[in-house]
Amino acid sequence: MDYAPIRISADLPPLRVNLYSDTQTKPTAAMKAAMMEAEVGDEQFGLDPTVNALCDKMAALMGKEAAVFLPSGTMCNQVAILTHCRPGDEILAHETAHILTSEGGGAAALTGAQITGLAGPNGMFDAAALRASIRPKSRYAPPQTLMEVEQTANTGGGAVWPVAVLDELAAIAHANGMATHMDGARLMNAVVQSGVSASDMVAGYDSVWLDFTKGLGAPLGAVLCGTKEFIGRAWRWKQRVGGSMRQAGICAAACIHALDHHIDRLAEDHANAKKLAGGISQIPGLKAEVPQTNLVFFDTSGAGITATELADRARLHGVAFSTTGAHRVRACTHLDVTAPQIDEALSVLRQVVAG
C-alpha cells in the first residue's frame, strides 16, 4: 500500500512553478548562512543558546511566559493535546481541523482523546455552534477539556478568524472549564493580513504554536508557547515522544532568521494569491474562492474535469497543484513563488482547461 501524499514519477518534466504547498520552500542563501554560524549546544539540557534565543523571542512575540522548540507543527499539536487532556476527554474543533483530518488519529492514538468536529463556513465555527456542542456535565458525558482553533483555517481557504470571534470563543470555553489551544501553523499570515498583533490575536489561548516550515521558509521547526507551568509539563511529553534534540540551534537559527526577515514579505504571497484567484476566475469552467491569505482553492466542475486530472495535466506543463476534494484544487503561494510565475501558472491553466 502506498501512503505517499504525492506521486513522483521520474518521467515528469522539471517543476517550474511549485504551488503544491508552502511547506516545499527551500532555505535561502542568507538563511543557510545564519544556520552555518549558529552557536549550538545540547538542547535537551537547555544548553543550546540559539534554541533558547528563539524560544525567548517567540514567548515575547506571543505574549506568553514560555516556549519550547519542537521538530514539527504536528508534534506541537500532539504535545499540547497530551499536556491539556487525559484519556477519555473530548476536544472541540472545526470538522476540517488539521488535528482531526491530518495527524494520523494522533489525539486518539497518543492521548486517548476524542475530537468532535464543529461545522461552519471557511473552517470556522461561531459562538452558537460552540455553545450547542457543550454537553451538560454528567457521568455519561466525556469531559470536555479543550477547544481548538486553527489560524489561518487551512482547508477553510486560508481564512482569518477575527480577533473578536477568537476572544468570544475563548471566553465561552474557559467559562465551561475548557482550556484553549490555537494551531497557529500560519498565524503570521493572519497577523500580516489583519494588522492585529500576534499577542493580541492569541491572548485568549492557553497554548499556541507557530510553524516555521510554511510561508516562513525554514527547513524544520515549530515553537509551542504557553505558561511556564504548561511548557514545563509539555517538556516531559517532548521527551517521551522523542522530540528532545541535541544541537538543534542549527535549525533554530533558520527560524530566527525567518522571524527577522520573512514576516513582512508574507504580504507579497497574499498579493500573489489574489492575483492568481482573479486570473483563475477569468478562465471558463474554473471558479476560485476569494483568498484572504496565501491559499487559493478553486473548483474544476465547470470545466468537466476532476481536480486530479487538472493537477496531473498541469504537472506535465511544470506547474504543481495539490487537490483537497474531487473537484477542489489548492494552490499555495510562498517565498519561492514570484509574480511572473503566477502569470506562467495561469497560462498553463488556460491550456489545461482548453484540453
Ligand X SMILES: *Cc1c(COP(=O)(O)O)cnc(C)c1O
C-alpha distance across the termini of the chain, in Å: 32
Pairing of strands 295-299, 328-332: antiparallel
SS3 assignment, position 307: helix
Alpha helices (H) along the chain: 29-36, 49-62, 73-84, 98-101, 106, 127-133, 163-175, 187-194, 198-201, 228-240, 249-261, 266-281, 307-316, 339-354
Interaction of residue 79 with ligand X, rule CB under 6 A: no
Contact stretch for ligand X (CB under 6 A) within 10-18, 72-80, 112-120, 139-147: 72-80
For the bound state, the minimum distance from the C-beta of residue 77 to ligand X, rounded and expressed in Å, comes to: 6
Measured from the CB atom, the residue of 208 and 352 that comes closer to ligand X is 208
For the bound state, the minimum distance from the C-beta of residue 135 to ligand X, rounded and expressed in Å, comes to: 26
Interatomic CA distance for residues 144 and 137, integer angstroms: 9
Interatomic CA distance for residues 300 and 307, integer angstroms: 6
For the bound state, the minimum distance from the C-beta of residue 215 to ligand X, rounded and expressed in Å, comes to: 10
In this structure, the number of other CB atoms found within 10 A of the CB of residue 221 comes to 26
Identify the residue among 52, 72, 308, 323 touching ligand X (CB under 6 A): 72
Interaction of residue 74 with ligand X, rule CB under 6 A: yes
Which residue of the chain is nearest ligand X when measured via CB? 73
Residues 212-241 that bind ligand X (CB under 6 A): 213, 222
Q: C-alpha cell of 158?
A: 486560508
For the bound state, the minimum distance from the C-beta of residue 157 to ligand X, rounded and expressed in Å, comes to: 12
Sorted by sequence, the CB contacts under 8 Å of residue 320 that are 6+ apart come out as: 15, 17, 18, 19, 20, 311, 314
Residues 165-184 that bind ligand X (CB under 6 A): 183
For the bound state, the minimum distance from the C-beta of residue 217 to ligand X, rounded and expressed in Å, comes to: 13
Interaction of residue 211 with ligand X, rule CB under 6 A: yes
The pattern of x and - marking residues 127 through 166 that bind ligand X according to CB under 6 A reads -----------------------x---x------------
The HSE-up count of residue 170 (CA atoms within 13 Å, CB side) is 21
Identify the residue among 182, 185, 198, 329 touching ligand X (CB under 6 A): 185
Q: Which residues bind ligand X (CB under 6 A)?
A: 23, 72-74, 77, 98, 150, 154, 183, 185, 211, 213, 222
